[in-house]
Structure 1
Amino acid sequence: MSKKWSVGAVAVLAALTLAACGNSKSASSTSSSKPTLPLSYSSKKSAIKGGTLKVAEVNTAAFKGIWDNALTTNVEDADMMQYGNENLFATDKNFKIVNGGAANLKLNQKAKTATIKINPKVKWSDGKPLVAQDVAYAYKVLANKGTASQYYTGSIANIKGIAAYHAGKAKDISGVQIKNKRTVVIHFKVMKPGMKTSGNGYFWENAEPYHYIKNVPFKKLASSDQIRKHPLFFGPFKLAKEVSGESVKWVPNTYYYKGTPKLKEIDMQVVSPDSIAAALKAHKYDVTYGLGSSTYGEVKNTSGYTFTGKQALSYDYLGFNLGKYDAKTGKNVMNKNSKMADPSLRKAIAYAMNIDAVEKKFSYGLGSRLTTLIPSAFSKYQDKSAKGFPLNIKKANALLNKAGYKKGKDGYRTDPKGKKLTIHLAEMQGNSNTQAIVKNYIQQWKKVGLRVKLTDGRLLDMNNFYEKVQANSSDVDMFEAAWGLSSEPSPMDLYSENAPFNMGRFVSKENTKLLNDIDSQKAFNTSYRVNAFKKWQDYMNKEAAYVPEIEVVQSYAVNNRVKNFSLSNATKDSNWAKVEVTSNSLSK
């Protein structure tokens, strides 16, 4: 049940999603020893037939309930639909695409193609077979302007003909070729080094039930009953019931190609971060998703549970509002006159933050300050020599003084033109300690003379937060957010000129050059690619358009009655169809 942060929950989701960053900020502790958590858990007792698994989604806000990979952008929806949502391709423990999934993939570097062959046993949850048309149509859902999918990026535009379709100049995508009922060939302009790994962004790893949604206009797809109320999946479970924004119930997909699942039902419910500790102590849930590090500290010794965990494919960051997204051109446009345009101001803000102290106090050893925009989950590509932005008040003051931000009699700085400077921070609701942590950072910025106020004067609901940030609202100068990452480390789809997810709208010729180099033909040589990654990380820390903050070991509470729960990246080990329980009541 590994997660892609974006994005396929039983396997790694092959895309990117927005994370509820508030959940990682949490209740106080002085413990900093790093716990060692197992990757899987399985009760040694015999399983019963059937049984209901109770799962908690720990979050402050309701989920949206957009049950489609191309149309949803938050990790909560991905968590909620993981039981039915299965990627086309299987992966090994290193996220490499292997045979044995709903479809097999064969790359041909000389011909610049990817051939997708569908397993003839795979059926949608309505009993209809998965066919080539379903794979091909998924690219239209992704690329049609009517859906406004944020997964249509510069990377996917490497497919021949997809840009013409996106622009409305072609009725079909010439580079997506149906060869026969179960075979699709994707034609690329250029082959890329990450294509062997799930989550690479250069081809889509999901399908759409063409027979079921073909008559729904693209503009209405995200709000249609076919997507919101009665979705189809080819994974082990199908959606049986939804209480909007609150809970979902899944029952077995009897057509599942790997055999009928063991459980008779999976119930998943949104639970507040402030109430999950009491709920676990009362043994109300079998598995938790989104369990904050402080909550882990409260409940780690709860009887009847085993805590599993892994280095999260995610991280928290501080972003700055530097421009706008032009939907007509599909490009981010940087405003050189924006309030936060000066890198010295951005770096001063970063150096004033006491992230190490915050994590030592609040994370129970599960969190640590991140020094680059490549987390340690991608150890091979992370620049381990990078220092990032450790607390340095002296350096922060020096940067501001040199850049012309002068202190007034009230202790606050003006901008270089002598005007009052007020910086508005958009911050998402989290648990009971989020307010205290944000207040701490505001006090840290005050120490260097920066007046920072919360957007709207309060913590924002998750959905409102992302609406404002993605729209580059004028009352947002900077924002704390989080990424759930795909399993291929290229940052192209997060930080490029063509990436809708580049929500700060940072654009430069050098950034474009460095990102292209990471995914270039030369980067088929691993050592070259590692070096290209390091050059980009160094550049981004110099620019500080995005400040890396925190990475965590994500913990999952697993009730001791559960069998075959795994966080492995290898889909043969991580499959909800295998999960069982050993009794009808949760262990205490």
Structure 2
Amino acid sequence: MNKRTAMFSAAAVVTLSGLLAGLAGTGAFAATKPVAKHAAKHAAIPNGGTLVQTVPSSFGVNFIPLLDSSAYNQNVTGLMFDPILTINANNQLIGDIVQKWWFSKNLKTTYFKINPNAKWSNGIHVTSKDVELGVDWLASQSYNNKDNGAYNYIVSSIVGAQKPLPDGTTPSGFKIISPTEFSITQTTVDPTNLGSNLQFITPLPTFILGKIPMSKWSTSAFNKQPTIGDGPFTITQIVPNQSVTMKANPYYVFGKPHIAFNIWKVVSPDVVSGDLVSGQVSIAAVHATDFNKLKNAPGLATNVTPQNSYDFLGWRLNNAVYGKEFSNVKFRQAVEYALNRPALVQALDKGYATVVNGPFPSANSYADKALANSYKYNPTLANKLLNEAGFKIGKNGWRTTPGGRPFTPTLTYASGDSLLQTQAEFMKQFMNAVHINLKLNAPISFEQQLNELNNDTNGKQPIQGFLEAWNLGSGPQDPRGLWLSNATFNTTTQDWTQPVSVLKQNDKLLAEQASAAAYNPAYRQRVLNQWQQLWNTQLPTNNTISDDLLTVYSNKLHGVVFSPYGTLFIYKWYLTK
């Protein structure tokens, strides 16, 4: 499958999947195309071999789907658990665990039929009860109040799921019709919801997790190392902080993958080029400097693909020390003018990147092209805005807060990649040039950084400024999961603290782009453009650049499909000798 939910990664860190969770999927086959034709087509393809992929930072400890918002963990869970629907290389919604779907006349109810070939890795059929458990999990009080809760928006449009439900309670809008058919009724007509939210519903094995109270899922043995999945690969071994080994699922819905084993190996991007040359790694995303060196290396092939993701400089707007200052929109506008983003494109990516203005990168088909030239590098204007906002320059050459206190904000970034440190040093240089005495914290693990962001309701965590990245996935690109004023991702990472009038306008536009009128693509684009312009004025984050995905891989690896949404259809990949 190919998960497309928004998720965090460390800014500037390269991962093969383009910061996506999963790499499988149903390929170019329509939802109704028989698997037998697929098998016949690939009858001559060799089977076997071990694929070694990389992640730049250690894995977390949660492997139940959507319990962890780290892109690195979801690389693993994305291969072990398939959602009900996925996309093809043209960003079109197609079948996966679900084979067919259709709508009621009023468009509020969607009916689904499970693929008869959808089985768990032990041969048991995936049923509507398994899908129901996946819905109940995301709607539960344990998931939303005790655990991550970040992906509740996937089911929040279902009738009865607007608030967290007691564990094990099914939203009234989810109905089981038969073991292989079910329906979902939404509270409103929404043209974006199937592709942006409902398709991520992930079946969970009722014969295992159905016997464990949801309040204990996060501490269960299954969460630490799942034994059963419906994806193309299943976990066989986890070596903490080093690797995860997976074997091909013989009962996979689209046939057993050609490759026998997949290993996720923790390798710093700083040294991965050597592993590619030696053959210890089969495929990896690399830095631009390494990419240029390896383009003509014997035994290797390369690929360049724009990504639907971007790096950003965030500010904890509720920070106990400087939250008021970070919340001043002129401060964030000044920062955007102070960032020499074209220089970042060259220094960090050797030209393999683009500047990002607004909440969508240019690779995204919904990006408002009118924003392309906004916030050009202009330190003079940055200084002017800071002066207007009351950040005065003291005798020591550094700015103070509007209240006269020393202004020494800190910047946090993740460890494991020297390019991140370089990016952080550039940020310090840009801020110092406009008399902001930005200090760099020592790098911390990505998991620790994520924990500080997600557990900072009182603003007292040490994190103030931070470098992160968003992967936006694909599909209809519904921004509500990130940018509604009450969205979980919003409140745990970058808070909208602008005047109430701005909040109302933001939420109104986000609602309108998902209204019945938005079934008209041109109308929806107009509304999205209005929202992007509002976002670009308010700048809840300071967006920087969108890196191209630079991939180097063994010339013995075949069948890889590259897209802005990641490398797709791993079950089709194969290795030759």
Instruction: Flag whether TM exceeds 0.5 (same fold).
Output: yes
The one of 408, 418, 422 aligned to 1:436: 422
Decide whether the 8 Å contact of 2:141 with 2:167 is kept in 1.
Answer: no
Correspondence for 1:131: 127
Correspondence for 2:552: 557
- AA partner of residue 190 (structure 1): T
> Cα 1:369–1:54, aligned 2, differ >3 Å: closer, same or farther?
same
The one of 485, 496, 515 aligned to 1:520: 515
Decide whether the 8 Å contact of 2:131 with 2:204 is kept in 1.
Answer: yes
User: 1:24, CA displacement in angstroms?
Assistant: 5.1
In structure 1, stretches of 5+ residues that fail to align are 1-9, 26-38, 41-45, 325-333, 584-588
> Cα 1:490–1:216, aligned 2, differ >3 Å: closer, same or farther?
same
The one of 387, 401, 421 aligned to 1:401: 387
Correspondence for 1:493: 481
The one of 530, 535, 547 aligned to 1:535: 530
> Cα 1:349–1:564, aligned 2, differ >3 Å: closer, same or farther?
same
The one of 185, 188, 193 aligned to 1:187: 185
User: 1:96, CA displacement in angstroms?
Assistant: 2.4
Decide whether the 8 Å contact of 2:128 with 2:179 is kept in 1.
Answer: yes
Question: What is the CA–CA distance in structure 1 between the aligned matches of 2:86 and 2:405, rounded to whole Å?
Answer: 57
User: 1:202, CA displacement in angstroms?
Assistant: 4.5
Q: Report matched runs for 1:168-187 at 5 Å.
A: 168=166, 171-187=169-185
The one of 471, 483, 508 aligned to 2:455: 471
User: 1:152, CA displacement in angstroms?
Assistant: 4.0
User: 1:375, CA displacement in angstroms?
Assistant: 1.3
Correspondence for 1:120: 116
1 or 2 for the larger relative contact order (CA 8 Å, sep ≥6)? 1
Aligned residues: 538
Are 1:578 and 2:572 an aligned pair? yes
Correspondence for 1:331: none
Question: What is the CA–CA distance in structure 2 between the aligned matches of 1:47 and 1:351, rounded to whole Å?
Answer: 53
Correspondence for 1:372: 358
Correspondence for 1:15: 5
> Cα 1:232–1:569, aligned 2, differ >3 Å: closer, same or farther?
farther
> Cα 1:467–1:84, aligned 2, differ >3 Å: closer, same or farther?
closer
Correspondence for 1:43: none
CA RMSD between the two structures: 2.8
In structure 2, stretches of 5+ residues that fail to align are 16-26, 29-43, 498-502
Q: Secondary structure at the match of 1:268?
A: strand
Q: Secondary structure at the match of 1:179?
A: strand
Decide whether the 8 Å contact of 1:383 with 1:537 is kept in 2.
Answer: no
Decide whether the 8 Å contact of 2:137 with 2:167 is kept in 1.
Answer: no
Correspondence for 2:161: 162
Q: Secondary structure at the match of 2:118?
A: coil
Q: Secondary structure at the match of 1:464?
A: helix
| Greater mean deviation of Cα atoms: 501-510 or 341-350 | 501-510
Decide whether the 8 Å contact of 1:335 with 1:341 is kept in 2.
Answer: no
Question: What is the CA–CA distance in structure 2 between the aligned matches of 1:221 and 1:499, rounded to whole Å?
Answer: 24
Are 1:256 and 2:240 an aligned pair? no
User: 1:525, CA displacement in angstroms?
Assistant: 1.4
Decide whether the 8 Å contact of 2:14 with 2:549 is kept in 1.
Answer: no
Q: Secondary structure at the match of 2:80?
A: coil
> Cα 1:155–1:169, aligned 2, differ >3 Å: closer, same or farther?
same
Are 1:150 and 2:149 an aligned pair? yes
> Cα 1:388–1:460, aligned 2, differ >3 Å: closer, same or farther?
farther
Q: Secondary structure at the match of 1:429?
A: coil
User: 1:409, CA displacement in angstroms?
Assistant: 0.6
Correspondence for 1:504: 494
> Cα 1:303–1:553, aligned 2, differ >3 Å: closer, same or farther?
same
Correspondence for 1:5: none
After TM superposition, the score normalised by the length of structure 2 is 0.87
User: 1:270, CA displacement in angstroms?
Assistant: 1.0
Decide whether the 8 Å contact of 1:388 with 1:548 is kept in 2.
Answer: no
Structure with the largest fraction of helix: 2
Are 1:345 and 2:344 an aligned pair? no
Q: Secondary structure at the match of 2:223?
A: helix
The one of 68, 73, 89 aligned to 2:69: 73
**After superposition, what is the alpha-carbon deviation per residue over 1:162-199, rounded to whole angstroms, capped at 9, x for unaligned?**
135x14399331111111111111011112121353xx
